[in-house]
Structure 1
Amino acid sequence: MPGAKKSHLKDAKPSSIESWTNPFDSDDEEKHTKKLENQSVKELESSAVYKAEETTNSVDNCMKFAENIREVATKTLVTLHQQGEQITRSHHVAVNIDHDLSRGEKLLGSLGGLQKLETKEDTSNNRPSYCWRLMSSPHSHN
């Protein structure tokens, strides 16, 4: 690819880098200094390039994970919003049904010959279930 940047030292993984000790550990400072003095500038450059590329790859992987997390979080928020809207619509339907039932009960009660009996509690929605019993009307003849 023209203009593409290519590292000539990409595959150069120095074997001495694996045996390095902690450069910030005061006990190993003398050993570390001797190792650095014994390495050529080319070896040091190779080690630096390898570490830089390794770090870049790690950062790139972290960025990919972060982008994936953001994408999943966005989809989750959209789904939660849609579910919230559906719950709101369902609630409005339930309120309308309850209103219609109350109005129906009033109409049936005004007929005079019906009496509402509470029979048992429906365990599925913790509401009492009702049945209607035909009563003899005070105006009827037996």
Structure 2
Amino acid sequence: MSGVNEIRSTFLDYFRKEGHEVVASSPLVPRNDPTLMFTNAGMVQFKNVFTGLEKRPYSRATTAQKSVRAGGKHNDLDNVGYTARHLTFFEMLGNFSFGDYFKERAIELAWNLITREFGLRKDKLLVTV
């Protein structure tokens, strides 16, 4: 992989080929969720789908969600600069099933993505439960 753009496009293309609707990133300030100051996870735009308040015309989705974590439960702000992996703004890649498949299929999709598409060696991966 040469960079973030290739990683993003490989991820989204893989899940599109697996029957997922590619859904655009929702706004950083959620439109319909007064409980959040910022979109802090990929599932925010699907909250009403998961709670049964909304139905989408697809049962699988994939996103590259722009996210901010600068307060609240998922506050990374205090760790910025102290670790190399904490940021306040990032893109969260995600795949979602709205009742179409569950953990077993999700694990299979993730495994195939990282070993086939991204080329990670199976013998270098440690799987835990």
Q: Same fold (TM over 0.5)?
A: no
TM-score w.r.t. structure 2 length?
Answer: 0.20
Q: Which protein has the larger Cα radius of gyration, Structure 1 or Structure 2?
A: 1
Structure with bigger RCO (C-alpha 8 Å, 6+ apart): 2
